[in-house]
Chains A and B, each alone.
Chain A
Amino acid sequence: MDQDLSLLAELLVAFFLVVGGFFALVGSIGLIRLKDTMQRLHAPTKATTVGVGGALISSMLYFLLIENQLSFHELLITLFLFLTAPITANFIAKTYMQDKIRRKDLPESGREYGWALYDHPPEMTDESK
């Protein structure tokens, strides 16, 4: 009985490790294979984040189920990565757009003002806040 349980725990840990590794691999292949910088931005920001998430969850399960010590650090790192990934992606997208994409390559914003990268924002009044 105990043997079965530890086997189940090992299978669970191994499953998350393999899933994490697979997505990391997909992210790397995307980084190499895709043609355009904006396309390349898609693969690593998500696939790699999920891949690291898998590795961290499997590490947490490993220490919880096999070594019998509860650790929240992995959860913190996962949360931190999930919170910061969109911000870095946004910064990199902006860097690329300022470097290579001109205003006429983009669709219209459909507003009075253009995109924030090229246009200054309107004066903030107390009313509009």
Chain B
Amino acid sequence: MLRRVFPHPILSLTLVIVWLMLVNKVTPGNLFLGVVFGIVIPVMTAPYWPNRPALRAPLMAAEYALVVLWDIIVANFEVAAIVLFKRHDKIRSQWVVVPLELRSPEAITVLAGTITMTPGTVSATLAADGGSLLVHALDTDDPDAVRDEIKTRYERRLMEIFR
């Protein structure tokens, strides 16, 4: 019964919070409307989400978000240095193939997004069976090191979050 009213509890909570942030004022009326949206929208969109991604370790997810945020800041300076000061015939861009151990589509989406947001790498495409990821690195001498860093720093954490 509870499953039918709240097919995605986290989505419902997110919708309520986002609605309150959108109207920018917490009043009983706004809260009520937010709760209505939080119940109606997940029920209506439930057919599009046949299997719910299981978020088993919320603390790990928070740690992951902080690590990614820190990496974005640090690596932005590196890219700034490359863009501003490196002669462009010295910039060595390479394709890097990252074999994936992750299997769930949600986890792979998060990994690809993370790779794109951390400067210096952009995820370009996926193998047709979802087994490996093609990454474009802006400037690197050692594609294997890029691959290993992605695997140890992000994929290992995601494996534990989306077990």
Chain A partners chain B: yes
> Is A111 within 8 A of B126, CB to CB?
no
> Is A38 within 8 A of B125, CB to CB?
no
Q: Which residues of chain B come closer than 8 Å to A97, judged between CB atoms?
A: 124-125
* Distance of A128 Cα from B93 Cα, bound (Å): 35
> Is B93 within 8 A of A85, CB to CB?
no
Q: Which residues of chain A come closer than 8 Å to B132, judged between CB atoms?
A: 109-111
* Distance of A86 Cα from B128 Cα, bound (Å): 20
Q: Which residues of chain A come closer than 8 Å to B146, judged between CB atoms?
A: none
* Distance of A90 Cα from B124 Cα, bound (Å): 6
A-B contact count (CB 8 A): 137
Q: Which residues of chain A come closer than 8 Å to B138, judged between CB atoms?
A: 39, 42
Q: Which residues of chain B come closer than 8 Å to A113, judged between CB atoms?
A: 127-129, 131
Q: Given A97-B124, A111-B131, does the pair A43, B83 have CB atoms closer than 8 Å? A: yes
> Is B116 within 8 A of A76, CB to CB?
no
> Is B127 within 8 A of A116, CB to CB?
yes
Determine how close the nearest CB of chain A comes to the CB of B100; give it in whole angstroms: 10
Determine how close the nearest CB of chain A comes to the CB of B154; give it in whole angstroms: 13
Secondary structure of the A side of the interface?
helix
Determine how close the nearest CB of chain A comes to the CB of B71; give it in whole angstroms: 11
B88 at the interface (CB under 8 A from A): yes
**What 1/0 mask marks residues of chain A from 81 to 97 whose CB sits below 8 Å from any chain B CB?**
01101110110011001
Q: In the complex, which of the residues A35, A50, A90 contacts B123, with contact meaning CB atoms closer than 8 Å? A: A90
Q: Given A38-B93, A41-B122, does the pair A46, B24 have CB atoms closer than 8 Å? A: no
* Distance of A22 Cα from B93 Cα, bound (Å): 24
Tell me which of B2-10, B32-40, B41-49, B72-80 binds A: B72-80
> Is A121 within 8 A of B21, CB to CB?
no
B53 at the interface (CB under 8 A from A): no
**What 1/0 mask marks residues of chain A from 102 to 116 whose CB sits below 8 Å from any chain B CB?**
000011111111111
* Distance of A113 Cα from B128 Cα, bound (Å): 6
B134 at the interface (CB under 8 A from A): yes
B60 at the interface (CB under 8 A from A): no
Determine how close the nearest CB of chain A comes to the CB of B137; give it in whole angstroms: 9
Footprint of A on B, CB under 8 Å? Answer: 18, 20-22, 24, 72-73, 76, 79-80, 83-84, 88, 91, 93, 95, 97, 99, 112-114, 116-117, 119-120, 122-132, 134, 136, 138
